[in-house]
Each structure stands twice: as structure tokens, then as C-alpha cells.
Amino acid sequence: MVEALVVRLWLVFCLVACGCATAEPAPALPSPAPIPVPPEPPPPVPERPPAVPVGIALHLLGDPPGCAANAEPVPCGLTALYAGHAPERSDALALYAEFGDVAGLDEGGVMDGGFRGSITLVPELPVGPHARLLHDVLSAQRSMAAFLAQVSARAPDPVRFRHTGIAWRFFRSVGRKTPSAMAGDWEIAVNVSGGLLTTAAGVEDTLMHEMFHNNDEGDWSRRQLGATVDAIVARCGTDTACLEPYSPGTTKVKGGTWYAFQPDNGDPAHEYAAELSLRYLRETRAALQGAPPPAPFRCRTPENRAAWDAYVATFMGGLDLSAPCVAGG
């Protein structure tokens, strides 16, 4: 009897251990949407370059005669390019002196604007009727410097977000108000007719978005947030109401959806992360100024929280001053 009992117990153990039990399996839980992987080890803090390299700067400024041999080639070039426009020249020189930025001309051409279609771009200086735009860029850079200094003073880790040494390429889109700006390789192309750039606040918001694209080195946004963004798009498509809880920003495309998820606009992970960067600016600035805080983006969905935490840890030294989540948020 003992031997028979041992045999029966051994068989039961074998069936259970081998997954051979005949009981009905528990119903499978629905698969959650992918959320960002834990933040990667932060990269080294990027060194601030003293300025846009002289060769690139002079090319942006039209290679003015004699400036390459001048003791101060870039101020020489800026003075030549903005001749006859004293206030604009003063702003351009201040951008260079304070941030190593150079405000020059885009080369123009015909761009494939994705959902916007083909757009003709022509070089155009931010002078005369467009002078306000150059001044707003200078003001936005000063504001961003002050903001990042405040974040750095409070953050437990180094802030890794560069906004200096930028080559600004000004252009006008023929018969269009888009795109307002484009960025890459530490350059930002700015449309003097840009629809998002009609106010100083619009300029600052747009430039924070574009500045992230410059900081998105190694395609961080795709590697860190791509699976999450892809899952959101697969679930919602272009349904504005479905996407609304996941949208970091408030910009919508006319006839489309939230800018972060607009189809035919490049990699949505790139735009989502750039809008997330702008959301961080808005929420953190409100906290620093003691202003009424916006509703915390990170509290709306688990995907938002993970994306927010990854951004804060990687770029903003781990400083999170956004408002607490309410119960259940």
C-alpha cells in the first residue's frame, strides 16, 4: 500500500510539474500596451560648444568678403548681413555673444512636407516686418537658459539638455504658413511666416519642441518610447478622443489629429518626445513660479507615467516638480 501511494503521489507530482494537469487553465489577462523600458544609463553631459563653428557660421551669413580673415569673423559677418537693420543686428550679435548662436539664412528649395505636401522654401532674413521674430528667438533663448539653470540648481543629477551653439536658418514658405520650424544637427530652421510663431509664447513653445529634436541623440525617442507610441497609434489610429489622454501637447493639425500622433509626419516617436519635452517645460515652470499647476500629464495613463519618468531621468537630472496625482490617478 505504501509503495502504491508513493507511485500515485509521484505521478501527481509529475503531471503538475510537467504542465500535464487536466484542470482548465485560468483565462488569459489582456495584454497591456507596451510601456517604455526603464531609462537607460544617462549619456555623458554634453559639453557646451563655445559657438557655431566659424566655417558653418560664415556660410550661413553668405560668406561676406573679408570676414574670414577678420579677428572676429562671425560678428563681422553678422554686421554685414544685417547692414541697414540696426535693431535686428543688435539682436543677432546678442544671440552670438550670449549663446554662441548664429542667425543666418536657410538655403531654400522644395521640401517634401509629408501630410503638408510639397512646399517651396526661400531664404528670408528676420528683418523689417519679421524683426519681432528674431527678437522673440533671443528672448526664448534667454528664458530657456534661466529655466535650465533653475532645474540644474534643484536636480539631483546633471541636466543633459543643450540649447546653445545653434545655427538658426531663416526662411519663408511660399504661400504657406507651414512648417513653422525644423531641427537637426544643432540647427533650427525658422519660418518667418510660421503659423505657430505669431506670438512670443508660440515662439518659445515651438523652439522647446525643436530643441528636443537636436538633443535626441542616438535616436533616444525611438529606442526608449517607440514601442509605446506604436501601441497607442495601433489602438487609436487617428481618433482624436482616443488619443487625447496620451497626447503630451495641445497642438492639433487642421483636419488631422494631435500633432504628436499625426500620420505622414516622420516617426511619431520623435514628435511625441518633442511634445513631451514641451509639456515638461510647462509643468515645471509653473511649479518653479508658484503658478497654478497644469493637470499632471504623467497621472493620466501608465504609458504617460513611464514616458515622463524616462524623459525626466535622461534629460532633466531627475527633477520632477509636477503636481501630485489625485487618488486613482
Per-residue pLDDT tens digits for 121-157? 999 999 999 999 999 999 999 999 999 999 999 999 9
The three three-digit cell numbers of residue 258, written as one number: 494631435
- Inside any domain, residue 91: yes
Q: Are residues 180 and 55 in the same domain?
A: yes
The three three-digit cell numbers of residue 3, written as one number: 509503495
* pLDDT per position as a tens digit, 210-233: 999 999 999 999 999 999 999 999
Please, which pLDDT band fits residue 57 given cuts at 50, 70 and 90?
Answer: very high
Q: Are residues 209 and 225 in the same domain?
A: no
Average pLDDT, the chain: 88
Domain containing residue 177: 48-217
Q: Are residues 177 and 292 in the same domain?
A: no
pLDDT the model gives residue 11: 37
Q: Are residues 197 and 282 in the same domain?
A: no
pTM of the shown model: 0.84
Q: Tell me how far apart the alpha carbons of residues 67 and 220 are, in angstroms, rounded to a whole number.
A: 39
- Inside any domain, residue 24: no
pLDDT the model gives residue 117: 74
pLDDT the model gives residue 294: 83
- Inside any domain, residue 30: no
pLDDT the model gives residue 32: 47
The total domain count for the chain is 2
Q: Are residues 56 and 199 in the same domain?
A: yes
Between the CA atoms of 147, 149, 150 and 154, what dihedral angle is there, to the nearest 10 degrees? 140
Instruction: Name the DSSP class of 323.
Output: P
Q: Are residues 57 and 106 in the same domain?
A: yes
Q: Are residues 109 and 223 in the same domain?
A: no
Does the structure show a pLDDT above 50 at 10? no
